[in-house]
Amino acid sequence: MKTQVAIVGAGPAGMLLSEILHHHGIDSIVVERQTRQYVQSRIRAGVLEQTTVDMLRQYGLADRMEREGHAHDGMKIVWAGRSSFFIDVRQHVGKRFVAYGQTSIQEDLFAAADRRQARLVFGAANVALHGIDTDRPRVSFEADGQTTTIECDYIAGCDGFHGVSRKAIPATVLKEFEKVYPFGWLGILTPRPPLPDIVYANHPRGFALASMRSPTMSRYYIQVPLDTRIEDWSDERFWEELKARYPADLAAAIVEGPSIEKSIAPLRSYVAEPMSHGRLFLAGDAAHIVPPTGAKGLNLAFSDVHYLSRALASRYETGRSDLLERYSDTALRRVWHSVRTSWYLTNLLHRFPSTTAFDQRTQEYELEFLKSSHSAQVALAEQYAGLPLEQT
């Protein structure tokens, strides 16, 4: 098989990259080790920054989002079961968010790929990258009992943290930065109306988050120890614990319902540098992981895709390679900004096992400062909304 760009991974990053390249007349093949049904059913993030919303609109992928998405203006922070304030992103920086589940985005991207009869390979085993530091890179895989090789000009590694793409970069080149947090999030998805706002809670019992996927679908999380077993948490126990971490008025407003998905996610920050080597370019979770605090993961993946698709289009349309050469540095500037924001919010809102009385007081007064300072709220709103995409 031959193509211009071989894309490893059919998640949102890989499929959006394929779609944008198609708009520029650039051919691609997407290789995915899982089945299409598995990829399409994964429950992931769903709070989209303005830049992500604009990208989906630009490439004709926003019709369903416009109908089903839920726009909101910022986030509320409550702590100790009493104090609260609202970070009004729309007022401070003129941007809005849209709650629209990643599952729906994945369905929209697959539908767009079907319309253009994109070449997608699912159930690919033993995927391997070859010759990434030459001008003739290749991707090999096994499917339907046969070994196939894709000859291409470039490879885009969009296959997530556990994929093969990042591992193809020599250890002498790759630098890894990681912070593992001593807790996880127990989350449920329920078909019930969400609270009007996204609400983060800092409570002596631990962190909690009330989020949304649509006007009829809610996502809730609570902080739990890393050794927590999901089978120990019935729906009834979850709702009781969640409501205990919110002030009485907010707890009363939470609409309980059956969990249609329940999972525990450990929290970590991770960045791989550089995000490119030879003819291989990483995007999304293949290059970086952020804690879900701040909802940066999917948005970061899409900003990577923006920079990579722009660089590839420049290469094929004008012959310029400078944007490809600068891709890693350009993408990492936004990556580290978002990593820092997620790190800050994680430290601000969670209760750490090793916290001292001094640490607890400083955290409380950081929250007091945010509540009372207009300038601090503007600064946080700018970070929470995400940096604008670089235009050059």
Residue 81 has pLDDT above 70, yes or no: no
Q: Mapping DSSP to helix (H, G, I), strand (E, B) and coil, where does residue 6 land?
A: strand
Is 164 a domain residue?
Answer: yes
pLDDT of the residue at 386: 85
User: Is 292 an active-site residue?
Assistant: yes
Give the active site residue among 296, 306, 327, 350.
Answer: 296
Structurally, how many domains does the chain consist of?
Answer: 1
Query: 228-257 pLDDT, tens per residue?
Result: 999 999 999 999 999 999 999 999 999 999
Give the active site residue among 12, 137, 194, 292.
Answer: 292
Write out the residue range of the structural domain in which residue 122 sits: 5-44+101-178+269-349
Is 369 a domain residue?
Answer: no
Is 345 a domain residue?
Answer: yes
Is 145 a domain residue?
Answer: yes
User: Is 327 an active-site residue?
Assistant: no
Q: What is the mean pLDDT of residues 89-111?
A: 91
Query: 327-349 pLDDT, tens per residue?
Result: 999 999 999 999 999 999 999 99
Q: Mapping DSSP to helix (H, G, I), strand (E, B) and coil, where does residue 169 land?
A: coil
Nearest to 40 by CA among 62, 66, 63, 12: 12
Query: 193-210 pLDDT, tens per residue?
Result: 999 889 999 999 999 999
Please compute Rg for the chain using Cα positions.
21
Is 219 a domain residue?
Answer: no
| Cis upstream peptide for 274 (omega within 30°) | yes
pTM of the model: 0.92
Strands of the sheet containing 125-130, edge to edge, are 125-130, 138-143, 146-151
Give the active site residue among 72, 92, 243, 277.
Answer: 72
**How many Å apart are CA 319 and CA 231, to the nearest integer?**
56
Is 371 a domain residue?
Answer: no
Give the active site residue among 200, 246, 307, 327.
Answer: 200
Is 121 a domain residue?
Answer: yes
Q: Mapping DSSP to helix (H, G, I), strand (E, B) and coil, where does residue 65 land?
A: helix
Q: Which two tokens stand for residue 246?
A: 């919110």
Is 200 a domain residue?
Answer: no
User: Is 194 an active-site residue?
Assistant: no
CATH number, domain of 128, equals 3.50.50.60
Query: 360-385 pLDDT, tens per residue?
Result: 999 989 999 999 999 999 999 998 88
